[in-house]
Amino acid sequence: MKTEICAQRMLSRFRELSSIGQTDRGVCREAFSPAWKEAAQRLCRMMEEEGLAAHIDPVGNVYGRLSGACKDLPLVLLGSHLDTVTDGGLYDGAFGVAAALEVACAIKHSGQRMERDIEIVAFNAEEGGPLGGTFGSRAAAGNQATEGKEEALSACGLSAGAVRAAKLSRAPKCYLELHIEQGSQLFEAGERLGIVEGIVGIVRFELSVLGQANHAGTTPMQARRDALLGAARLIAFIHEKAAQKEAPFVATVGKLSVFPNAVNVIPGRVDMILEMRDMEPVSIEAFLHEVQQEAQAMQGFIVEFRPYGGKEGVRLSSAIADRAEKLCRAGGISFRRMYSGAGHDAMEMAKIAEAGLLFIPSRDGISHSREEFSSEEDMLLGAQLLLELALQSAQEP
């Protein structure tokens, strides 16, 4: 008989966990806040009620384990995060945690034999804070640097030792995460499941557009070298060129500093940050080259480019994606294989294990807002698929 999730049990636990920290502006369950602590402890109790071996690690990641037959085999890890942004939504993170917990419960109640342990995790501080995003999963993967971070760590009540102790003693066989899309692709296409193939990389450059500061009253229009005008032209070029590229490529200028930034002075200099995201570093490089050429061709301005950091893209397991696709096809579920423009705990786990990430639709693509919404039907469908993927992995010798 097919093992099935229990809709009522999952939804009621989801409602209980996700509403901790809810206000009329949205959910405030920021990492290390009293609301987050309450949620972590409540989750621990839910796990214990189900007979899972539960604990909270030294950085606030919550774990609960369901034992399989062979202790020696690497386990199957399932989860998401429990913290939210300030004034966030009910679904971001909490849905994936509630679904993972339900998967463990459904398997336990079904009495199905599993070769491997299944462990549920609710990572802490995915949304950032003093330690940056995906902190909990980075610590679990052993990739969280502690040097020079003493102040940020102590602001969260942590030490370098706590970070070291949070590292998983053994890499899992795989990590599976179910999350809301937080974008509008699935909702607009009327598709029910997103199978994520990778999380895009980010490259940022700081650009300085240099013109000539001058008197705003006495300098004729023809004689101006207005750096803000140069920056505006370059931004328009960036937008138009990026719009011609294939998804998931995006480019944004989201930060500008105008000098001297005075009402009666023609801007002499504009500093701005160009951010480009894509799966392929070469396509980002090619785009940057086009922007540089355009900048060079602009009359009357000098444009300087300086690297401003970024993040490498992460490919998730294609074997897990293929298995998810097969399950969708068999179940007549509409799906799309896609890339994520936002970071997730799965990208940290992908560095130590095979990782899979599934999305359900977000209504109107809205997230990090109290307007965030996903339907119960989609939540249940996603959870059922997560269960089937987890079971397959846990039954593999």
Q: How far is the CB of 179 from Zn ion (least distance, A)?
A: 6
Q: How far is the CB of 63 from Zn ion (least distance, A)?
A: 18
Q: What is the x/- site pattern for Zn ion, positions 321-360, by CB under 5 A?
A: ----------------------------------------
Q: What is the x/- site pattern for Zn ion, positions 251-290, by CB under 5 A?
A: ----------------------------------------
Q: Which is nearer to Zn ion, 92 or 117 (CB)?
A: 92
Q: How far is the CB of 84 from Zn ion (least distance, A)?
A: 8
Residue 199: beta bridge partners?
A: 314, 340
Q: How far is the CB of 83 from Zn ion (least distance, A)?
A: 9
Element (H, E) at 266: strand 265-266
User: What are φ and ψ of residue 331, in 5° steps?
Assistant: -95, 5
Q: How far is the CB of 374 from Zn ion (least distance, A)?
A: 12
Q: Which is nearer to Zn ion, 178 or 390 (CB)?
A: 178
269-278/250-259 β-pairing: antiparallel
Q: What is the x/- site pattern for Zn ion, positions 85-104, by CB under 5 A?
A: -------xx-----------
212 sits in the region (left: phi over 0; alpha: psi -120 to 50; else beta) called: beta
Write the CB contacts of 290 (distance below 8 Å, at least 6 apart in sequence): 241
265-266/214-215 β-pairing: antiparallel
Q: How far is the CB of 99 from Zn ion (least distance, A)?
A: 13
Q: Closest Cα to residue 105, out of 220, 224, 218, 10? A: 10
Q: Closest Cα to residue 272, out of 221, 238, 313, 240? A: 238
Give the tokens for residue 94.
């909490």
For the chain, helix (H) and strand (E) counts, in that order, are 12, 17
Q: Which is nearer to Zn ion, 21 or 268 (CB)?
A: 21
Q: Tell me which residues in 34-93 interact with Zn ion (CB under 5 A).
A: 92-93
Size of the site for Zn ion (CB under 5 A): 2
Q: Which is nearer to Zn ion, 30 or 92 (CB)?
A: 92
Q: Which residues of the shown chain bind Zn ion in the complex (CB under 5 A)?
A: 92-93
